[in-house]
């Protein structure tokens, strides 16, 4: 594992995370997720290996599932 990857992995286990968001003015029909998918990225990466399965029992609009697909995880 490269040094940069190690630094990134240690960041996942800190007690607080900085999550950058981008605010866009979108029409309601353009909104694909109820919250920024970057918000859920760190918990997915920290808690599930690539190719693993994410359980989202409260699915809602599917934001977590969208990010799981983007991060090469399966979902239930």
pTM reported for the whole predicted model: 0.59
Sign of the CA dihedral with 51 first, then 70, 44, and 13 last: positive
Q: pLDDT, tens digit, for every residue of 15-54? A: 666 666 665 555 555 555 567 778 888 889 988 999 999 9
d(CA 33, CA 41): 13
CA atoms within 13 A on the CB side of 29: 0
d(CA 48, CA 21): 23
Question: Domain ranges in the chain?
Answer: 3-75
Q: Residue with structure tokens 């594992």?
A: 1
Tokens, residue 26: 């979108």
Q: pLDDT, tens digit, for every residue of 53-74? A: 999 998 888 889 999 999 999 9
């Amino acid at each position: 594992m490269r040094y940069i990857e190690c630094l990134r992995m240690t960041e996942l286990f800190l007690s607080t995370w900085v999550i950058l968001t981008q605010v866009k003015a979108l029409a309601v029909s353009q909104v694909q997720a109820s919250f920024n998918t970057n918000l859920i990225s760190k918990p997915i990466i920290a808690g599930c290996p690539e190719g693993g399965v994410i359980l989202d029992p409260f699915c809602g609009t599917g934001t977590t599932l969208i990010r799981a697909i983007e991060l090469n995880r399966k979902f239930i």
